[in-house]
Amino acid sequence: MSESTSAWLPYLFLLAGATFLQYHWGRRANWRIIRETAQACERALRPKDQTYTWIGGLIGYKADYVVRRGHLNRVEATLTALPRHSLLYLPISWAWRRHDTLYLLLRPNQPLRMRGHAYLVRPGV
């Protein structure tokens, strides 16, 4: 092994250790966000049935809630979280998206006469 190679070895070990720690911290953070949003949606909607589809394991989920209450038939939710578990991709994701996103699509029983959009932003997140 040459001297130039051995000079970089401690830095490589530090990067590997930082990547390992970031993965475990980010995994816990994303699981907490995923669990809390799913529980909040279920508490708010009280669905009769729900189906979850995982997106990438640690990135989020797509949920289909069967509500059948009043004029509301179904609610589709999609949560995409930042890749907190990836030390090298997280800065790129911050530049593109900046935040975790939760999309809710309300499916009424009857067609609407007009089109409507609602944007809810939680400040400070």
pLDDT in tens, 47-84: 999 999 998 878 899 999 999 888 888 999 999 888 88
**Residue 100 amino acid letter:** D
59: closest CA among 94, 26, 92?
A: 26
Please give the model's pTM, rounded to 2 decimal places: 0.77
Residues in CB range of 48: below 8 A, 6 or more apart: 66, 67, 68
For residue 116, give both structure tokens. 């409507």
Q: DSSP assignment, residue 25?
A: H
Dist. CA 64–CA 98, nearest whole Å: 26
Does residue 121 register a pLDDT over 70?
A: no
Dist. CA 24–CA 20, nearest whole Å: 7
